[in-house]
Amino acid sequence: MQGSRLTFFGGVGKSGGVQVLYGKGKQAVLFDFGVEHSSLLFPKQVTLCEPVGATPGRELRQFLLAGMTAPLTELYDPDALKGLDAAKVRRRVWNDADFPRYDDIRLFIGHMHTDHMAVLPYARPDLPVYMSHDSHSLFRGMVAGRHSADTKARITVCDDLSVIDFGEFSMQIVEMDHNATGAAGLILDDGIHKIAYTGDWRRQGKHPERIDRFIELCRARQVDLLITEGTRLASDPSSEVSGQMPEAELLSRFSEIVGEADGLVILQMSPRDLERMADMIAIAAAQGRKIAMDASHAAIWHAANREGLRILKDHPALDTALRIVEPTVAEGDFFPYETISLEEMAERKGEYIYFYKFPDLAHLIELETLGEAPGPSHFIQSDYSVKIDQADVAKFLQTFGIVGHSLSNGGHAHPEALSDMIERIAPQAVITLHSRYPDSQNTRGIPAYRPTKGETAAVSSIVERR
């Protein structure tokens, strides 16, 4: 019987959009299911200002015809395909490549960033999809907050370290540390070769012990092939900056800023990092601040926690009262929280921290010009896609004399951490995906394999190249 194979549909020479098909016999699993950051289109999301998005109602067709998602039409909802011919996609986009065929293809989604899950809303009804418990909770929150459309796929919620037996191979889910709640990698085992996939990961986050555990699991199981992300690799390795602010230091600096601020505190952060959100809510409340929040952020927070986020079990933020900023509430929204008007918050600037999102920048006009200011407002950007030096943000900060702060440590491993993981796991080979510069990876003597987009390779040929 033919051994296991890997087909690379995305994430090759690009940042994001990892889509790798692993299969043996008649069974396969695709990991992940997003699109690349640097593609022709970017899925519409609320954290970016007017991205070039796909045409509403025709998203999947355009993703497929732009080569942004795997040409496996059996994965997709026929209603979203709208009659698009699979043969035409393969011929026009993939040079009529002959990809492996499997009777049973399932999905694994490592985390809830758009470049890893954007295609999920277009999945075929009842398509089996695996993800961690907290990724699923976050997804339900994203749907509630209109950060993602829902899916008709059949999601299986997996416990940390659970093993799914496909028959031809097994897949173990291993929770990692990343700035999206619930992020996980996996270990695949076909009885002959073992492959580890990190997903997106970092050492500077709140849970570096999860990375150490992943490494030890890989060492104990003698993983043959390691597939890792390499987002932070640079074209010139000598230009790479070592280290990054640990999460504990970031939160300490946040506490200092909030404690020293006399005026309004405006916080711009990703609502997909619910653990940081919880920590910042708790820190601000302990400093005597009341919490005001954009409605879409509050929807994610409420719905995800209603699903029972395990990472936030017994967290003090869960008992902290929120108030929703009135102009952000859309018709039909329902929250178990009171609202607050911009006028009221402007009159009581020193009492509040506002968890806001970039499209609501105009709120600052009223917040800064109404009411008396006990001191300057402080604007904190914390790992959000729009930075404080972005033209519109910078103009507002300058106009109103708002003090800007950047508190970020990124969601991705730095080059030295990547090299350390490779060396400690000591696989037979390593593949670096999710990177514009995979060739700059120092593998510390471990042979590197550089796949091309659309390539299919036998696992045995990759690990036995030595």
The predicted-structure confidence for 167-191, as pLDDT tens digits, reads as follows: 999 999 999 999 999 999 999 999 9
Q: How high is the mean pLDDT of the chain?
A: 94
pLDDT of residue 49: 46
Q: Give 332's contacts (C-beta < 8 A, 6+ positions apart).
A: none
Question: Distance (Å, rounded) from C-alpha 122 to C-alpha 77?
Answer: 6
Q: What is the dihedral of CA 261, 323, 362, 327, to 10 degrees?
A: -160
Q: What is the pLDDT of residue 463?
A: 95
| Cα distances (angstroms) measured from residue 391 to each of 51, 131, 294, 402 | 16, 38, 22, 15
Tokens of 188: 């695949």
Residue 304, CA distances (Å) to 34, 89, 111, 318 in order: 21, 37, 14, 11
CATH of 247-406, one of 3.40.50.10710, 3.30.450.20, 3.10.28.10, 3.20.20.70: 3.40.50.10710
Say what the pLDDT of residue 50 is.
52
Query: What is d(CA 466, CA 461) in angstroms, rounded to the nearest whole number?
Result: 10
Mean pLDDT (whole number) for 153-174: 98
Q: Is the pLDDT of residue 241 over 80?
A: no
Give the C-alpha separation, 27 to 241, whole Å.
Answer: 42
Q: Give residue-wise pLDDT tens across range 395-413.
A: 999 999 999 999 999 999 9
Q: What is the pTM of this model?
A: 0.95
Mean pLDDT of 126-131: 97
Q: How far is CA 365 from the centre of its chain?
A: 32
Q: Token digits for 452? A: 């091309």
pLDDT (0 to 100) of residue 45 = 45
Token pair belonging to 385: 């896609």
Q: Which region among 3-7, 33-37, 209-213 has the lowest average model confidence (pLDDT)?
A: 33-37
The fold for domain 5-237+412-463 equals Metallo-beta-lactamase; Chain A (3.60.15)
Residues 409 and 204 sit within 8 Å (Cβ to Cβ): yes
* pLDDT, tens digit, 9 for 90 and up, residues 256-302: 999 999 999 999 999 999 999 999 999 999 999 999 999 999 999 99
Q: pLDDT at residue 159 above 80? A: yes
Q: What angle do CA 106, 85, 90 make, to 5 degrees?
A: 70
Torsions phi, psi of 147, nearest 5? Answer: -90, -10
Neighbours of 41 (CB within 10 A): 18
Q: Is the pLDDT of residue 244 over 90?
A: no
Instruction: Name the residue among 148, 145, 150 with its Cα closest to residue 333.
Output: 145
How large a percentage of the chain has pLDDT more than 70?
95
pLDDT value of residue 40: 65
DSSP 122: G
List, for residues 339-398, the tens digit of each pLDDT value.
999 999 999 999 999 999 988 999 999 999 999 989 999 999 999 988 999 999 999 999
Q: Which regions of the chain carry the CATH code 3.60.15.10?
A: 5-237+412-463
SS3 319: helix
Instruction: pLDDT band for 65, please (50, 70, 90 cuts).
Output: very high
Residue 424 pLDDT class (50, 70, 90 cuts): very high
Give CATH 3.40.50.10710 domain extents, the chain: 247-406
